Amino acid sequence: MKIKTLENIEIIRDRKESSINPRKFIVWLFIATIVMLFAALTSAYLVKQGEGNWLHFEIPDMFWVTSVVIILSSISMQFAYISAKKDNISWIRGCLLITMVLGLAFLAGQYLSWGELVRQDVFFVGNPAGSFIYVLTGLHAVHLISGIIFLAIVLYSAFKYRIHAKNLNSLEMSVTYWHFLGGLWLYLFFFLKIYH
């Protein structure tokens, strides 16, 4: 009887170790939804461009700057995760704060890049080329805002000593989502650079 009980305990432990946290699963599901959305939009972009009557314009120089900013924010986010695994609380907080500031700087850069587009007479209404660039960058900005909100919640938890080596779930979800947003921006940037 004891042997069967031990076997059952091991089976339950193995199931717990192999199962994914439900909140992490929701994050991955959300990421998959965003991937499908942007895949559909970039496909529609190519189809519409192939129909002709496409406005050719220069990609804003600010996109280069925002690309560097999003890469730096991803690096600082990764340092926050590494610091959490080492229980270095002050570094977690500092790196999360840096990531948040860089995220806000990215949004400011996107706003300035829209100003560059307006100076080139590229508007949301009018030619589909303009509409697409505003929709793609605007939707990414909306998702980045959600990432900053998530980051603020994690930062608050870090200040309450709830983020440490034995409690990484919320930080891991935030890191995953943030890296995804950085990768998504780089994809959009190079896509627009090639197909503008």
If you ran DSSP here, which 8-state letter would residue 125 be given? S
If you ran DSSP here, which 8-state letter would residue 52 be given? S
What contacts 195, CB < 8 A, 6 or more positions away?
Answer: 45, 46, 49
| Structural domain includes residue 100 | yes
State mean pLDDT over 153-179: 90
Q: What is the pLDDT of residues 56-84, one digit of tens each?
A: 888 999 999 999 999 999 999 999 999 99
Mean pLDDT across the chain, nearest whole number?
A: 89
Residue 194 has pLDDT above 80, yes or no: yes
Q: How far is CA 107 from CA 26, 35, 92, in A?
A: 25, 20, 23
Question: What pTM was estimated for this model as a whole?
Answer: 0.87
| Structural domain includes residue 5 | no
Number of domains within the chain:
1
| Structural domain includes residue 7 | no
| Structural domain includes residue 106 | yes
| Structural domain includes residue 2 | no
Residue 127 lies in domain:
21-195
State mean pLDDT over 106-128: 92
| Structural domain includes residue 111 | yes
| Structural domain includes residue 167 | yes
* Phi (first) and psi of residue 26, to 5 degrees: -65, -40
> Which CATH number characterizes residue 189's domain?
1.20.120.80
| Structural domain includes residue 121 | yes
pLDDT at 165: 79
